[in-house]
Every structure is written in C-alpha cells, then in structure tokens.
Structure 1
Amino acid sequence: MNQLHYIRAGSGQPLVLIHGFPLDHSAWEQSLPHLTAHFDVILPDLSGFGASALPEGGCGLDEMAASLAGLLRGLGLSRAFLAGHSMGGYIALAFARQSPEMVLGLGLISTQAGSDTPEGQANRHKTAAAVAEKGPGVVADAMSPKLSANPAHEALLRETILRQPAPGIINALKAMAARPDSSGLLSHFDFPVSIVHGLADALIPVERAREMKAALLRVHLTELPGVGHMPMLEAPAETAQALKTLL
C-alpha cells in the first residue's frame, strides 16, 4: 500500500481531516488553528492528490479508506475521530463501514450518504475523459467558481485544483461514481456524528445533510447561512466548533 503524505499538529484525541475533491490537505488550513488546542490533528493527502502517489492501477474509495486505517496504525493509533469533506465524507463513511472499531466519532462536512444517480455517474465519467484529454483545467474551470459562496476564495481554490495530478483527479472521479449507497449504515453508528452544511452549497443541497441527521442516533447538525461547499474555508471557527461537539 502506498504511503500517504500527511502533516500533523496539535495535541489531544486524534482527528483525521479528510479533504474533498479535487483538493489536498491544504483545504483545512483555515480551520486548523481552531482545532489544535483540542485534537492531535492529522491531515493526509489522499492517494493521487497533493504529495501522495496514486497506486499503480488506481484505487477506489474503499482502498483510500483502508490506506487511512493503515496510516493510523503506522502512527500507533488504534482509534481516531475522522472528519471528511465532500468526497472525504464518502471516504469517512467507507472507513466506518470497514473499521467501525477504529472510529471515535465522525464529522461529515458538505457531504451525503447516497450514491450517484446514473446521470451523476455518467457526468463523472465524461469529466474524467475531458481531464484525460485536456488536463485539470477542465475541473478548475467548472468547480472553482462553485465551491465557495465567497468569490474571494475562487483564485485560491483554482490554484489548488490546478496543482493536483490529472491521474489522481481521473481516478477519484471514477471512484466516486462507483461508490455504494451508505445510507443504510447510518442507523448502526454508535459513535457521535457532527454534520456541517452550508445553506448556500451549490454542489450538495442541505437536504442531504438533514436526511443523514434523521437516520443517525447521536448527531449534531450545524447549518451555516451564506456558506457554500467549503465550510472549513468559509466559516473555519464555526466548522471547528461543530467538530469539537464530538468530544
């Protein structure tokens, strides 16, 4: 299994922050100062993003989750909190399905438990083909204006997307298209879950967050007015506060 690049900061209970598509660990930088007094924060680059290599032959979301479990074990950690943003939420759910005994609690940020519709799957494959032909700029053009509700963030997000390797972007698109529906898992979780969702999210409507809340036993939902798909960038203190409710 390929080694994941990560940074680590803070002290307390371990918290893994799992970035979304098509970003890297830097997506969490604004929230990090609000978390390090409470958590031992581990920020990995997922396989194929940032400084983490893509395994030969690619990998699905389950393999990405397994690589996070391997990272934790390598650090001598048997349990941790995990918080996933968007695609990172899908991976956090896959981790909870594979290794529930390792989960102290989950943060689900701007994400959903359901699988892609057939139309959504087709769109991901179409985008993957476009990236293979033209490079990451295709995704940067489409996504950077939509991620944050604050236009001031667009240039930073575009720059982050453009530095991601095309093979990692293509792999992740195919992996997301193939992910299973995790909705049935939620009612079995016996650990705390904190959901964070922006009311101005242009990619995943807040209804998906409310559906997850309805299915969970121990849950805290934070809805953020005027915030888009990037709460940890747009509302870092509020996002961190929501994650502290897991403790």
Structure 2
Amino acid sequence: MSLPPSPAVPGAASLTFVCLHYWAGSGREWQAVAAFLAPDYAVLAPDLGGFGEAPAPVGGYSVEAYADQVAALIAAQQLQQYVLVGHSMGGKIALALAARQPVGLVGVALLSPSPPTPEPMTEDERHDSLRAFGEQAAAEKTMRTITARPLPDLLQQQIIHDNLRSTKPAWDAWLLHGSRENIAAQLCQVQVPCTVLAGDQDAIMSPSVHGLETLPLLPVGTPLEIVGGAGHLLPYEAPEEVAALLRTFAQQLARAEN
C-alpha cells in the first residue's frame, strides 16, 4: 500500500477515491492527485500484486483476480462509500469490479483506461514489451513515449524505477493475458455513473480508442473529457486537472444522491 487513506474534512470523510495504477507503475503515481484533493477527500492507492511493493497476488494475475484483491482491500478498510478510479490497466480492473455492483460503490472514473475489449496492441509491440522487462534503456524510452508534458527529473526517475521493480510474472501476465481479456459482456452490469479522462497526446491509447471501445459499453451519457497536451500518464502529467475532474465528479454524485 503506497498511500493510506488521507484525512478528510467532515461531510466528505465518507467518500474515498480508490485509485488503481497503470501497468508497470505503482500506487505512488497518485501522490500529487491526493495532495490536490486533500483535505476534502480521502484517497486509497494500493500497489497491485506484483507491482510496486506488493507481493504476488494469491489468486493470480487475471483481471478478475486483481478485482478480488481490490475488493478485499475495500472490505478490510471498511469503506462505506467510494469511487473507483482506474488508470490504464487499473481502468479495466475497476470496470471488472464495478460490474459486480459492490456495496458502497457510487461511481467510476477512468483515466486513459485499457478498454474492456483486448487492447489494440500488435504482436510485434507485445513481443518488444515482453523483451523489454528489466532493461534500463527500455524503461527510459517507455517513459518518454508515454508522456507528453515535461516532468521534473525526480518524477521521471520514479516512473523508471517503478517500471524496473515490476515482477516478471506480473509483467508477462498482463501482456500475454490481462491485456487480451474481453470483459465487454459484463459491462451491462455497471450501474453507477462513470466518467472518462484522456490526454490528446496519448501515444498508446488515443481518445478514439475510448470512444470506440469503452464509451459505448458504459452508462448512457458518460462523458469523455480531454486534457490538452497530455500523454498517457495523466496522474503525473496533469494531477491538478485530474483532481479537479474527480472533485467535480464527486460533487455531481452528491447532488444526484440528494
């Protein structure tokens, strides 16, 4: 667990953002977003099994197994009301969990999500990614490819470090299996409000992918918000915009409840 729930002001303490990170990342990608949301909203940002500091997941590396891990964390934290926030790989996991209609879930926010259908990745790209495991130069190249806005050196090194400390079973499992899973048939069970955010300079998951593969499977009226000049790593590149979106989303949910 890289970020414990942050303290929240009275009246907002009942709502927690449960933030799920991207493939080859960790929960600490949400640090700046959490800072912008504090003290009004709590943030829980776990490392998913095999990434960051998390051990191998007991149930395996499938999308449903990761959803089980997140559900167990939510139960352990005794969260009464929460929003699932999924980034890239974390987006697919968030949708799989939301389709179970868990008690306490009030909304889903997706940031450059991996689509419910198989990711648009060629076999050459998959092979290259498999071969890149543990390679410093490859990690640096990936960081440059998936970001568009300039980042401080410290954050660049954090992104690279998270890439390199990923475990090989988790790395391979997503490329060979998780990214290929098709959970589209389950999404008719997602009954809570959703929102999608994407960077217009995302080199690996363009906004058109979300429009074609994800939005048609979400509740009618789900918006797609675009962040100008940003790439794939929105929590790093645009933390203030992400926090503003989540804050607005939470306020909309509260108004709808009342």
Per the TM superposition, whether the score is higher than 0.5 is yes
Q: Which amino acid aligns with 1:48?
A: G
Structure 1 unaligned residues grouped into runs of 5+: none
> Any idea what SS the aligned residue of 1:37 has?
coil
Structure 2 unaligned residues grouped into runs of 5+: 251-258
Deviation at 1:60, TM superposition (A): 1.0
**Count of matched residue pairs:** 240
| TM-score when normalising by structure 1 | 0.84
Match of 1:128 in 2: 130
Backbone CA RMSD of aligned residues: 2.6
Which protein has the bigger strand share?
1
- Quick one: structure 1 residues 173 and 110, their matched pair in 2 at CA, closer, same or farther if it must change by over 3 Å? same
- Quick one: structure 1 residues 244 and 57, their matched pair in 2 at CA, closer, same or farther if it must change by over 3 Å? closer
The partner residue of 2:106 within 104, 107, 113 is: 104
The partner residue of 2:239 within 230, 236, 239 is: 236
Contact 1:34 1:237 in 2 (8 A): yes
Contact 2:114 2:179 in 1 (8 A): no
Q: Which amino acid aligns with 2:201?
A: A
Match of 1:29 in 2: 31
1:98-129 alpha-carbon deviations (Å, 9 max, x no partner): 34444210010011434226854674366335
> Any idea what SS the aligned residue of 1:9 has?
coil
1:136-188 alpha-carbon deviations (Å, 9 max, x no partner): 53751442111210243544422331233333322332342342142x54455
| TM-score when normalising by structure 2 | 0.81
Match of 2:256 in 1: none
Identical-residue share of aligned pairs (%): 26
Contact 2:85 2:111 in 1 (8 A): yes
Moved more, 42-51 or 160-169: 160-169
The partner residue of 2:219 within 213, 216, 220 is: 216
- Listed as ranges, the matches of 1:46-125 within 5 Å are 46-55=48-57, 58-116=60-118, 120=122, 123-124=125-126
> Any idea what SS the aligned residue of 2:19 has?
strand
Runs of at least 4 residues of structure 1 off by over 4 A?
184-188
Moved more, 212-221 or 24-33: 212-221
Q: Which amino acid aligns with 1:51?
A: E
Give the Cα separation in 2 of the matches to 1:117 and 1:147. 15
